[in-house]
């Protein structure tokens, strides 16, 4: 949520900052700005409402200076406007700052500073940092930043420059990510590695309560009491091609089509055919501890929460262990009961989602073991968790999550297999499940070959104002996910329900203009779902069915039908979610929406 970047080096900073902001744009895209410390010793600030493209147009061709900071905003305090865009400065323009996070005590600080004559020009909480720094500046920016942040309550990943210290950027972190990129004679700093990968692979993650001072030649990290922090550099595994569109029209399209490969990456090397089980070294749990697990609880938000719901079905069904998925934002504030042999999974693509992170910390405070299932290596959740699994999907840049979902399923299915084999699952059954799992990438590929038909249906139904997505059992969470995908990128109002549940209320919405998409795999609930479809048809509702190859009866009942290949009953979510992702994608395209950066959203939600 909001992306920040800084550069110190021999090159002209402005284009590097803009390019970096473009990479970070998925974190927020309502306004953006940069500040460059010019050779004349002055801050040149350019900021603009709109996308990075608008900012790029506003930046003069000549903007010299090798030290600068930039920001792409997702508004929290104050409307979307040029004035509220970052960087912020003080009246004398001696400091400029960018900030990601929320300063909770900004009102009190603002009043105090206004009392001293500081004039605020924006409605943001962040501006208070600029005036505070200006007020506290004592000739040493690093020391002044430490003083300033000791007075802040809330979250921040912030960068500051001061006209008296050309070539210096100071960054501080509490609750919002910050990573330093160590280049050859140049240094960068950003909210995440996507902005750095073009320049360097060597990175240093800054932790909460730390302050980093950087110049072109190096960096120094200390805590707020000046204790030096000596942490090893890490190497980023991502390649620049992975963050390009590579011929696709949109990141979302690319990421949907990458799924056969990303699922394979999540599974590869983690199956043990000789024992028909899975191997997940990062869990940091002994066999004894795994055997002692009495309950698995998954905490997450949005799409990751839906992956958790799917996994809970599989865990209960195959491993016979009580399991559930809960919205992290809800769990945190209901004083959760942590029992001795409970294991929690914090599932998060970004590894930075505030709701999930704070819920994880609350559970850990109560003594729980929390494992992470994350994509972004080195992000906060995996760093703070007690162990876990990286899903290795590669960068997911489209705001709507797609490939992360199927890779999260993979990690959770592997864990299910591991636990199931320690409990009730026989070697033969384990082997069969393993083989079914290994076939999934090819089956997803097969689903993708049917894209054209999904595209036709998207075109046909794109004018609907409301949509229902309905499924049962393990496909009920897929219905929720289908509805989420459609609403977030097409802005069509969509609801996901259990197909059984519609008669308890939602059926009132059915008329000729409200289509329903039923997920109806050939499982034990098929006939019940067919009855639900007939109930909708009887009320003149349009029905699309998503069934399994060979289920020819469906075509006679519904208006339109899509098919997926046959698989293990518990693995259908891998296959049924893909047409729904495509359906949302093509519907949004049909309606001319901004597919990769839908309105009001951001990829990484680092505020509560
Ligand atoms: C939906 C979507 C969001 C995220 C949610 C959690 O397409 O992208 O609902 O799934 O914000 O994000 P992570 O997984 O990064 O914790």
Q: pLDDT tens, 10-65? A: 999 999 999 999 999 988 889 999 999 999 999 999 999 999 999 999 999 899 99
478 and 348 together in one domain: no
Tell me whether residue 606 is in a domain.
no
Alpha helices in 449-592 (DSSP H): 451-461, 476-490, 526-537, 553-557, 572-590
Q: Enter the tokens of residue 529.
A: 């779902």
**Which of 2, 48, 485, 542 does the annotation list as catalytic?**
2
Is 57 designated active site? no
Q: What is the C-alpha to C-alpha distance for residues 556 and 228, in angstroms, rounded to an integer?
A: 71
Query: Residue 535 burial (CB < 10 Å; 0-12/13-18/19+)?
Result: middle
348 and 273 together in one domain: yes
Q: Give the ligand 1 atom nearest the CA of 356.
A: 16
The helix/strand/coil state of 581 is helix
- First-to-last alpha carbon distance for the chain, in angstroms, is 11
Backbone dihedral angles phi then psi of residue 7, each to the nearest 5 degrees: -140, 135
Tell me whether residue 432 is in a domain.
no
Q: Give the ligand 1 atom nearest the CA of 353.
A: 16
235 and 161 together in one domain: yes
Contacts 24+ apart (CB under 8 A), 224-233: 224/146, 224/149, 224/150, 226/146, 231/204, 231/205, 233/182, 233/202, 233/203, 233/204
The percent of residues above 70 in pLDDT, for the chain, comes to: 100
DSSP bridge pairs for 236: none
412 and 453 together in one domain: no
Q: Give the ligand 1 atom nearest the CA of 399.
A: 8
Is 374 designated active site? no
Domain edge (last residue) among 215, 242, 269: 242
Tell me whether residue 601 is in a domain.
no
DSSP bridge pairs for 469: 496, 517
Domain edge (last residue) among 211, 242, 273: 242
Q: pLDDT tens, 81-115? A: 999 999 999 999 999 999 999 999 999 999 999 99
What is the span of the domain harbouring residue 121? 3-242
Q: How far is the CA of 244 from the centre of ligand 1 (A)?
A: 21
338 and 453 together in one domain: no
Are β-strands 295-300 and 323-327 bridged in parallel, bridged antiparallel, or unpaired? parallel
Contact by Cβ (8 Å): 270, 416: no
Contact by Cβ (8 Å): 167, 213: no
Q: How far is the CA of 120 from the centre of ligand 1 (A)?
A: 34
Q: How many CB atoms lie within 10 A of CB 49?
A: 18
Instruction: Please report, for residues 183, 245, 348, the alpha-carbon distance to residue 409 in angstroms, rounded to integers and kept in the order given.
Output: 36, 24, 12
The residue contributing the CA closest to ligand 1 atom 9 is 302
219 and 157 together in one domain: yes
CATH of the domain at 211: 3.60.20.10
The helix/strand/coil state of 347 is strand
Q: How confident is the model at residue 600 (pLDDT cuts 50, 70, 90)?
A: confident
Task: List pocket residues of ligand 1, CB cut-off 6 Å.
Answer: 301-304, 348-350, 353, 356, 400-401, 484, 488, 605
Q: Give the ligand 1 atom nearest the CA of 350.
A: 15
Tell me whether residue 119 is in a domain.
yes
519 and 417 together in one domain: no
Tell me whether residue 108 is in a domain.
yes
What pTM was computed for the model? 0.90
456 and 362 together in one domain: no
Q: How far is the CA of 563 from the centre of ligand 1 (A)?
A: 27
64 and 212 together in one domain: yes
Which positions ≥6 away from 316 have C-beta within 8 Å?
A: 322, 323
Tell me whether residue 366 is in a domain.
yes
Rg of the chain (C-alpha set) = 25
Q: What is the C-alpha to C-alpha distance for residues 293 and 288, in angstroms, rounded to an integer?
A: 9
The residue contributing the CA closest to ligand 1 atom 4 is 302
The residue contributing the CA closest to ligand 1 atom 7 is 400
Q: What is the C-alpha to C-alpha distance for residues 382 and 299, in angstroms, rounded to an integer?
A: 14
Angle at 404 (CA atoms; ends 400, 406), nearest 5 degrees: 115
217 and 110 together in one domain: yes
CATH of the domain at 548: 3.40.50.10490
Q: Give the ligand 1 atom nearest the CA of 302.
A: 9
Q: How far is the CA of 603 from the centre of ligand 1 (A)?
A: 7
The residue contributing the CA closest to ligand 1 atom 3 is 302
Q: pLDDT tens, 495-544? A: 999 999 998 998 999 999 999 999 999 888 999 999 999 999 999 999 99
| Residue for token pair 């042999």 | 341
Q: What is the C-alpha to C-alpha distance for residues 194 and 402, in angstroms, rounded to an integer?
A: 18
H/E element holding 233? Answer: none
Tell me whether residue 434 is in a domain.
no
282 and 234 together in one domain: no
Are β-strands 295-300 and 342-348 bridged in parallel, bridged antiparallel, or unpaired? parallel
255 and 236 together in one domain: no
Contact by Cβ (8 Å): 233, 202: yes
| Residue for token pair 């518990």 | 570
Tell me whether residue 607 is in a domain.
no
Q: pLDDT tens, 306-355? A: 999 999 999 999 999 999 999 999 999 999 999 999 999 999 999 999 99
Q: How far is the CA of 412 from the centre of ligand 1 (A)?
A: 17
Q: How far is the CA of 351 from the centre of ligand 1 (A)?
A: 10
The whole-number average pLDDT for the span 173-200 is: 94
Total domains present in the chain: 3
């Amino acid at each position: 949520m909001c992306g920040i970047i800084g550069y110190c080096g021999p090159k002209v900073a402005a284009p590097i900052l803009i390019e970096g902001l473009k990479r970070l744009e998925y974190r927020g895209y309502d306004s953006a700005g940069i500040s460059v410390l010019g050779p004349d010793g002055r801050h040149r600030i350019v900021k603009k409402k709109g996308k990075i493209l608008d900012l790029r147009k506003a930046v003069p061709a000549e903007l010299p200076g090798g030290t600068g900071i930039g920001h792409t905003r997702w508004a929290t305090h104050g409307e979307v406007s040029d004035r509220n865009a970052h960087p912020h400065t003080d009246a004398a323009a001696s400091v400029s700052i960018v900030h990601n996070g929320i300063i909770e005590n900004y009102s009190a600080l603002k009043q105090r500073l206004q009392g001293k004559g500081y004039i605020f020009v924006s409605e943001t909480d962040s501006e208070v940092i600029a005036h505070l720094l200006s007020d506290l500046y004592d000739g040493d920016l690093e020391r002044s930043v430490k003083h300033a942040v000791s007075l802040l309550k809330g979250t921040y990943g912030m960068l500051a420059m001061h006209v008296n210290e050309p070539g210096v950027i100071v960054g501080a972190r509490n609750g919002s990510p910050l990573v330093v990129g160590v280049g050859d004679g140049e240094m960068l700093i950003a909210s995440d590695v996507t902005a750095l990968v073009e320049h360097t692979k060597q990175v240093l993650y800054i932790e909460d309560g730390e302050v980093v001072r950087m110049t072109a030649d190096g960096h120094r990290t200390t805590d707020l009491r000046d204790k030096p922090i000596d942490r090893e550099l890490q190497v980023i595994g991502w390649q620049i091609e992975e963050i390009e569109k590579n011929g696709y029209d949109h990141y979302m399209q690319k990421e949907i089509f990458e799924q056969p490969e990303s699922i394979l990456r999540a599974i590869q090397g983690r199956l043990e055919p000789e024992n028909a089980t899975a191997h997940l070294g990062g869990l940091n749990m002994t066999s004894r501890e795994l055997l002692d697990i009495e309950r698995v609880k998954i905490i997450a938000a949005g799409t990751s929460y839906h992956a958790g719901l799917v996994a809970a079905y599989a865990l209960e069904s195959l491993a016979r262990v009580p399991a559930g998925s809960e919205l992290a934002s809800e769990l945190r504030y209901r004083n959760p009961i942590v029992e001795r042999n409970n294991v929690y999974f914090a599932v998060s693509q970004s590894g930075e989602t505030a709701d999930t992170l704070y819920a994880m910390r609350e559970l850990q405070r109560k003594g729980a073991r929390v494992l992470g299932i994350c994509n972004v290596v080195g992000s906060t959740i995996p760093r703070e968790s007690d162990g876990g699994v990286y899903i290795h999907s590669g960068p997911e840049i489209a705001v709507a999550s797609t490939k992360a979902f199927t890779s999260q399923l993979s990690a959770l299915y592997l864990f299910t297999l591991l636990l199931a084999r320690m409990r009730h699952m026989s070697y033969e059954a384990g082997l069969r499940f393993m083989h079914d799992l290994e076939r999934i990438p090819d089956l997803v590929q097969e689903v993708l070959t049917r894209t054209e038909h999904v595209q036709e249906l998207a075109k046909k139904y794109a004018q609907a104002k409301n949509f229902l997505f309905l499924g049962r059992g393990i496909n009920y969470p897929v219905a929720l996910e289908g509805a989420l995908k459609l609403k977030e990128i097409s802005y069509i109002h969509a609801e996901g329900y259990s197909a059984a549940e519609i008669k308890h209320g939602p059926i009132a919405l059915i008329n000729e203009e409200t289509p329903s998409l039923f997920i109806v795999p050939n499982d034990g609930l098929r006939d019940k779902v067919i009855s639900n479809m007939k109930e909708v048809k009887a009320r003149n509702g349009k029905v699309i069915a998503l069934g399994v190859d060979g289920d020819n009866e469906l075509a006679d009942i519904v208006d339109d039908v899509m098919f997926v290949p046959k698989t293990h009953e518990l693995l259908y979510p891998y296959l049924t979610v893909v047409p729904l992702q495509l359906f949302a994608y093509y519907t949004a395209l049909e309606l001319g929406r901004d597919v990769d950066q839908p309105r009001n959203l951001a990829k990484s939600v680092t505020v509560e």
